[in-house]
Amino acid sequence: MKTIAIVTAFPPSAGSLNEYGLHLVNAFAARQDIEKIIVIADYYHGDLPELDLGSKVEVQRTWRFNDPLAGFHILRALKSSKAEGVIYNLQTASFGDSEIPAALGLLTPTVSQKSGLPSGVIMHNLVEAVDLSKTNLAQSLFRQRLVGAASYFVTKTMLMSGFMTVTLDSFWDILKNKYKAKNAFMVPHGSFPLASDIEISNLSERPCTIVTMGKFGTYKRLERTIGAIQNLNLSRTEVQKIRLVIGGSDHPATPGYLKSLETKYKADANIVFHGYVAEEDVATFFTQAKLAIFDYDSTTGSSGVLHQAAIYGTPAAYPMMGDFVDVTEREGLKGFNFTPLDQKALEDSILQCLNSSELGQGYADNNLHVSKGVTMETVASIQLQLLRKTKTGNFNVLRKAKNSALRLEEIEISRPVLS
Please state the separation of Cα 15 from the chain's center in Å: 11
Same domain, 366 and 219: yes
Q: Residue 110 is part of a domain; what is its CATH number?
A: 3.40.50.2000
Same domain, 175 and 239: no
Where is average pLDDT lowest: 74-88, 266-280, 367-381? Answer: 367-381
Q: How far is CA 256 from CA 4, 216, 219, in A?
A: 38, 10, 15
Same domain, 113 and 236: no
Same domain, 367 and 380: no
Rounded to 10 degrees, what is the CA torsion of 200, 275, 28, 81?
A: -170
Q: Using one digit for the tens of pLDDT, what is the confidence trace for 13-44?
A: 878 888 899 999 999 999 999 999 999 999 98
Query: Computed from CA positions of residues 400, 401, 404, 410, in that sequence, does the dihedral angle turn out positive or negative?
Result: negative
CA distance 409 to 224: 40
| Mean pLDDT, all residues of the chain | 85
Same domain, 23 and 124: yes
Q: Domain count for the chain, please give it.
A: 2
Same domain, 38 and 170: yes
Same domain, 86 and 175: yes
> Tell me, what's the pLDDT at 300?
61
Residue 182 included in any domain:
yes
Print the domain residue range for 117.
Answer: 3-190+375-410
> Tell me, what's the pLDDT at 227?
95
Rounded to 10 degrees, what is the CA torsion of 344, 349, 351, 353?
A: -170
Q: Using one digit for the tens of pLDDT, what is the confidence trace for 88-111?
A: 999 888 998 888 898 999 999 999
Q: What percent of the chain has pLDDT over 90?
A: 49
Same domain, 57 and 85: yes
Same domain, 180 and 271: no
Same domain, 123 and 246: no
Same domain, 346 and 385: no
Where is average pLDDT lowest: 171-175, 295-299, 337-341? Answer: 295-299
φ/ψ of 354, rounded to 5, equals -70, -30
